[in-house]
A = this chain, B = another copy of it.
Amino acid sequence: MLNKGRSVEELFSFFAEKKSLDLDHDYILSSMCTLPHSVAVRAHCMFMETNLGDPGLFPGTFSLEHLLVKRFGDLFHCPDAGGYATSGGTESNIQALRLAKALRHEVASPNVIVPASAHFSFKKACDILGLSMQKVPLDRDHRMDAGKAAEMIDANTVAMVGVAGTTEYGMVDPIADLGKIADQHDLFFHVDAAFGGMVIPFLDRPVPFDFALKGVTTVAVDPHKMGMSTIPAGCLVTREKDALNTLNIDTPYLTVKQEYTLGGTRPGAPVAAALAVMDYLGFDGMKAVVSGCMKNTERLIAGMETLGIPRAATPDVNVATFVCDQKRIPLPWRVSWTCQKHLRIVCMPHVHADRIEAFLSDIGEYHA
């Protein structure tokens, strides 16, 4: 640590220099996060110091968290849903599996059934929780094979996971079929809609993925992805209002007696930010945002195919993938690659139509 402090000028000139090393969002095509909406930033700053880790001190902010969960309950066809604001999909997924395991604590060697496409946070969750992770193969369209999932369920299976908007190919698993299987087996069924939860409801033809399906137990959704909130803003939504109480531990010296969250201190600022965007845009506004992202995705796929770069999949949400050589991507564009070495581009709200055209132009010239 420095002995003498730095002046404000010196400090922020150093910080500005560091900030300039971060990539320009104009060239980031690889991220499932985006620039926060202006109302998100304003709400975040307004609630900067609030801590939901001790909600009795911040009853106003706590009521906003309650409202955020209610918004997702309404959106996901379960007005009486429970849940809480998490730090993102990883925490939501860990907590869902933690709950599934706790509800079946008599199982000595618990396992969880996940699609091969599941986000790596499930590997993390299983490692931490001591769960055996059983991977279900995908069908030709990169979706979880429901028939194979059903075959893999055994007496030690404490949960099944489906993904609504996969990270790599933007696919929605056959949640309706999986929900029926879960219902038949009376199995905990968690839907990871961290990405798709703020996309699918706003599509022209939404695929069923939420509590409208009887078998769905919990849904993870990340307002800090397509919800254009500040980070970290996730939400774990539960069909049963008080489901998470199973995870309660005692919390002496706080204004509440127990808590079920994974973290202790929890920032209220991104919760206010997430709610701000949802309430400012409303359903119609979000539909317009999603429609724009889907149009850009289609335009990108069409443009790439015109350049002789074929799609790797026809996605359900705004993630485009291509059969493309890594050498074909000109600087300073930042893209990503799937495990199968397909080029992957996420058409987030910050990736405006003109950026898609600029990218297509650059990649075209780079190859001409």
Instruction: Determine if B249 and A15 form an interchain contact, defined as CB atoms under 8 angstroms apart.
Output: no
Q: Is the CB of A266 within 8 A of B59?
A: no
User: How many residues of A are in contact with the other chain, CB < 8 A?
Assistant: 106
* Pairwise interchain contact B231-A1, C-beta atoms closer than 8 A: no
Chain A 333-368 interface mask (CB, 8 Å, partner B; 1/0) = 010111100001000000000000000000000000
Identify A22's interface contact among B58, B119, B224, CB under 8 A.
Answer: B58
CB distance from A334 to the nearest CB of B (A): 7
Q: Contact partner of A36 among B4, B17, B49, B250, CB < 8 A? A: B49
Give Cα A341 to B18, complex, Å: 48
B18 touches A336 (CB 8 A): no
Q: In the complex this chain forms, how many copies of it are found?
A: 2
Closest partner residue, chain B, to A63 (CB atom) = B18
Q: How far is the CB of A345 from chain B (nearest CB, A)?
A: 11
Stretch at the interface among A87-95, A182-190, A297-305: A87-95
A90 touches B57 (CB 8 A): no
A39-B282 CB under 8 A given contacts A30-B57, A127-B249, A338-B252: no
Say which one of A205-213, A272-280, A310-318 lies at the interface with B. Answer: A272-280
Q: Which residue of B lies closest to A92 (CB)?
A: B264
Q: Which of A40-48, A137-145, A146-154, A237-245 contacts B (4 or more CB under 8 A)?
A: A40-48
Are A8 and B60 interface neighbours, CB within 8 A?
no
**A11 in the interface, Cβ–Cβ < 8 Å?**
yes
Cβ of A267: which chain B residues have Cβ within 8 Å of it? 230-232, 270
